[in-house]
Homo-oligomer: A and B are copies of this chain.
Amino acid sequence: MIQNRHETNISCTTCPVAKLCLCDDLSKDELQCLDNSIHHNFTFDKGEHLFYLNDKLESVFAVYSGSCKEYVTDADGKEYIHNFYFPGDLIGLECFNFKSYPYSAISLEQTHLCVIPIKQLISVIKNTEHLPFRLLTIFSKKIRNDTSIRLTTNAKQRVADFILHMHMRFSERGCSEEIPLTMPQLDMSNRIGVAFETVSRILHAFQRDNIISMEGKNIQIRDLARLRDISGIE
């Protein structure tokens, strides 16, 4: 499925997002063992699929740079987006005991990925003390990522929730100043379940009220307190 592409000497030991990925909490030996099981640095162009719905499941992906989305489409062609993935995130981990992928995944820009064959991942899990716990942490976080937009909220709250959630994720990546929206607003609207025209209107209202500012596709939060207030949680 995945053609072998330009593979450089990237490794987990030098990876800048290792702390977000499988590697964190691992001993030096364990890290080496994991590193040996990973094929580093596959390049995907914008709009290229990592895999399609019902493709045979063979690998888990780790984002090295760039971004991706997971989605399914219904009979009408309407798109449901599970989540977006950024550097350090793992794609497909929760399918490890499936025969095939239950959704499609596509690159939102030029994206570099590391590929971990499931069989080898299972072997590493068996042979390392800390990886099982690391995986529990990753899954716990994924549950919070996947449920970050609440169902009981209105459109403004959802946009606020989305921005706050993105802010949190990019802060983890050492980028707390600006949130780069790598996806079109249509993707954002499909993720949060609001018409894209409504998203556009709300983003403009937030700018008018000096809650955020936008240049191009970058969002900067100017009033975090107001945003949290609109979101309504805590």
Which residues of A pack against B, CB within 8 Å?
72, 74-76, 78, 80, 82, 94-97, 122, 125-126, 129, 132-133, 135-137, 139-140, 142-143, 146-147, 149-153, 158, 190-193, 232-233
What is the CA–CA distance of A232 and B82 in the complex, to the nearest angstrom?
16
Cβ–Cβ contact A151 & B149, under 8 A: yes
What is the CA–CA distance of A147 and B102 in the complex, to the nearest angstrom?
13
Cβ–Cβ contact B143 & A146, under 8 A: yes
Cβ of A76: which chain B residues have Cβ within 8 Å of it?
A: 232
Residue with the highest number of chain B CB atoms closer than 10 Å, among A96, A139, A147, A192: A139
Cβ–Cβ contact A95 & B140, under 8 A: yes
Cβ–Cβ contact A97 & B137, under 8 A: yes
Cβ–Cβ contact A147 & B150, under 8 A: no
In order of increasing CB-CB distance, the 6 nearest A-B pairs are A151-B193, A132-B132, A139-B139, A152-B193, A94-B140, A74-B232
Work out how many copies of this chain go into the complex: 2
- A48–chain B nearest beta-carbon distance, Å: 24
Cβ of A126: which chain B residues have Cβ within 8 Å of it?
A: 129
What is the CA–CA distance of A193 and B154 in the complex, to the nearest angstrom?
10
Known: A76-B232, A136-B135, A139-B94. A147 touches B146 (CB 8 A): yes
What is the CA–CA distance of A129 and B126 in the complex, to the nearest angstrom?
7
What is the CA–CA distance of A137 and B125 in the complex, to the nearest angstrom?
14
Cβ–Cβ contact A96 & B136, under 8 A: yes
Cβ of A147: which chain B residues have Cβ within 8 Å of it?
A: 82, 146-147
- A145–chain B nearest beta-carbon distance, Å: 10
Cβ–Cβ contact B97 & A150, under 8 A: no
Cβ–Cβ contact B152 & A151, under 8 A: no
Cβ of A133: which chain B residues have Cβ within 8 Å of it?
A: 97, 122, 125
Extra 9 A-B pairs, beta carbons < 8 Å, given A96-B140, A152-B190: A72-B233, A76-B232, A78-B232, A80-B150, A82-B147, A139-B139, A142-B143, A147-B147, A151-B193
